[in-house]
Structure 1
């Protein structure tokens, strides 16, 4: 606890998305002397807590940046034909109560994001695609573990790669979350290395993955629908419907 403006104790650090009104209400609920929103706002400014646009990217350490730069240098001279051999994949959570990019947070200088920032109820999809065709999209109704991801690789990835890249020249892209890099998953990849190989990927680099653009398309389509989803089942149905309505040549959408 420390003294704030006019002697009022500042006994907490407000959560990232707390607005001044919420902070004022929380403060006044625990003390006999009430303060105004302007007093709270001024005190937060004096503490260095200012309104900033919320960050929408993962945290990057110096090691991450170094690996990311190395990957970019290794692939900067790839031709379009080489990139056409890559099948991109990812999973993404979609919030039922969507918060758009205009949300602002209260944070100290140097703070980038709070760990564990989450929304409300959500739906998770996993999907993949390549230059020439759209791939499967499935609803992940449990936590994505190494076992559930292994089933995705066996049931979705392998058949898609075998069908699209007939000569075994395809490269499968995935990020480096633990369930993707588990030993049992890599054993499966090694068993099918005559069908496809795995593209090395830098850590915390979703912005390098073009599937992010398709996720954005899905979000915009859900937001613009005449009948917004009322529950998670509605949201799941809309997401899958819009995914499979995407042109089979997704390069034209990106």
Structure 2
């Protein structure tokens, strides 16, 4: 029997490589099973040699004796609970209810299709429809008035050259948080770990955070200021005095420049406007709800991603990380994001004032 076992080595490899739980037996292997059965070899020996279960070998031989064929009959097995028509209805519903959760879609399908469906079944059916779950992009709410004002502003400035946009000193505020533990769901893999202190999910009442202000241009990064307490017009003027004037001198070396800021209340307050006028600082009029037009928003996203990778655990560590990443932004990146402003404006014009993609 040694020669017999060696002759089956290739079939052993085939059965191990190609067959998993629930997988059909390859046709060549089914044919070999029948051939050995016809030679008088017992089913138990065939199963042991091919490393198959006895029931698998028995079923293949029984099917051969009953029908005279080794082919697998079509139509066997449990039919899917959702047919092609149901899947088309499901796909239409997902297309018209883009923000619906899987649970909500399941409740609709149970009522509409009149079938006992679970959340897992609907989730698999959604994948069969070649649909995927994506995180929606965060965009500011834009009313009709907002869109109209954005459209008019971008239309008036869309012909500005890249060289002119490089004369702008961009400014903005952004909030950074100290993230405790993992962001998202916290899981453990064994029941014993639930009482292990190293596996606890530490909860906090509130994320510690910092509000920072900064300015930049295509020439380089300007000053960075960390706010203490609430922000009002008086404090904002102090920031302009301490950071905008030195940054303007450092980045533009006496060349004419334009100062950009959004329409936050401290920025548009009358005392702020008067201070800017007295200092003879030319201010770029900015449309409401338009962070997508400002290149400094891209810089904030880059810094936040890098700060999150460093995982600061205290406010002091957070501030140190922010300052380090702020000073590490290369000039090439600044030139790239500022050079993209004309394309952003053109996109808003084409979208009639709506948010850019």
Quickly name the TM-score band, shorter chain normalised.
0.5 to 0.7
Structure with more helix by fraction: 2
Gaps of 5+ in 2: 1-100, 112-132, 186-205, 338-357
1:169 positional shift = 1.8
1:207 to 292, 315, 322: 292
Aligned to 1:74: 156
Q: Does residue 127 in structure 1 map to residue 214 in structure 2? A: yes
Residues 132 and 249, structure 1, Cα contact 8 Å, conserved in 2: no
1:60 to 134, 142, 153: 142
Aligned-partner Cα distance in 1 for 2:174–2:143: 22
1:148 positional shift = 1.0
Secondary structure in 2 matching 1:179: helix
Q: With structure 1 as the length reference, what TM-score do the two structures score? A: 0.67
Aligned-partner Cα distance in 2 for 1:99–1:53: 22
Secondary structure in 1 matching 2:267: coil
Aligned-partner Cα distance in 2 for 1:100–1:175: 33
Structure with max Cα Rg: 2
Aligned-partner Cα distance in 1 for 2:181–2:232: 27
Structure with more strand by fraction: 1
Aligned-partner Cα distance in 2 for 1:242–1:126: 14
Deviations 1:1-25 (A, max 9, x none): xxxxxxxxxxxxxxxxxxx9xxxxx
1:120 positional shift = 2.9
Aligned-partner Cα distance in 1 for 2:155–2:273: 25
The aligned runs of 1:74-153 (5 Å cut-off) are 74-97=156-179, 120-153=207-240
1:102 positional shift = 9.3
The aligned runs of 1:1-254 (5 Å cut-off) are 42=107, 53=135, 56-97=138-179, 120-167=207-254, 169-193=256-280, 196-225=281-310, 228-248=311-331, 250-252=333-335, 254=337
Shift in alpha-carbon separation, 1:56–1:81, aligned structure 2, 3 A: same
1:97 positional shift = 2.4
1:55 positional shift = 5.2
Aligned-partner Cα distance in 1 for 2:268–2:167: 21
Secondary structure in 2 matching 1:180: helix
Residues 132 and 250, structure 1, Cα contact 8 Å, conserved in 2: no
Residues 133 and 249, structure 1, Cα contact 8 Å, conserved in 2: no
1:98 positional shift = 8.3
Shift in alpha-carbon separation, 1:130–1:101, aligned structure 2, 3 A: farther
1:179 positional shift = 0.6
1:139 positional shift = 0.9
Aligned-partner Cα distance in 2 for 1:100–1:65: 38
1:153 positional shift = 0.9
1:250 positional shift = 4.5
Secondary structure in 1 matching 2:153: helix
Gaps of 5+ in 1: 1-19, 21-37, 104-118
Deviations 1:45-90 (A, max 9, x none): 99xxxx9845522211111111111111011111111111101000
Residues 54 and 101, structure 1, Cα contact 8 Å, conserved in 2: no
Q: List 4+ stretches of structure 1 deviating above 3 A.
A: 51-55, 98-103, 162-168
